[in-house]
Amino acid sequence: MGWLLRRGEVLASLEVHASTSTNGTPGSEVGALLRRDVHVVTGFGARNGADVAWLDNELVVRALGRVSRFGVRVAPRDCQAVLSAEPGAFERWKLEIGDQLEVRE
């Protein structure tokens, strides 16, 4: 487990996966889930859906959205990673398109 930061500010605890699992929700003990090389995210198994942010290779936020409980979201062009969190988390973090994120182990 690691930490998700923006400009030195800790946003959440973070679980990082290299797998191509498409479930859009982090585990209950972490605040966010980062997966690389994922092009489709589903809300299946998520009680309330999830916030999703599509990131480029440098972890810059390129698109924001939400996947509903039974929804499916496809990655925009040129996005190599997806960050997911509980619904409302991105609003609390004031996450915006263009934010540069950082992962610390």
For residue 53, the domain's CATH number is 2.60.120.1140
pLDDT of residue 25: 53
Question: What was the pLDDT predicted at 26?
Answer: 53
Domains identified in the chain, total number: 1
pLDDT per residue, tens digit, the chain (105 aa), is 899 999 999 999 999 886 555 455 555 557 899 999 888 888 877 678 899 999 999 999 999 999 998 889 888 888 999 999 999 999 999 999 999 999 998
Task: Evaluate whether 64 touches 33 at the Cβ level (below 8 Å).
Answer: no
State the Cα–Cα distance between residues 31 and 78, nearest whole angstrom. 25
For residue 49, which amino acid is it? G
Pairing assessment for the beta strands 81-85 and 32-36 based on DSSP bridges = antiparallel
Domain that holds residue 28: 2-104
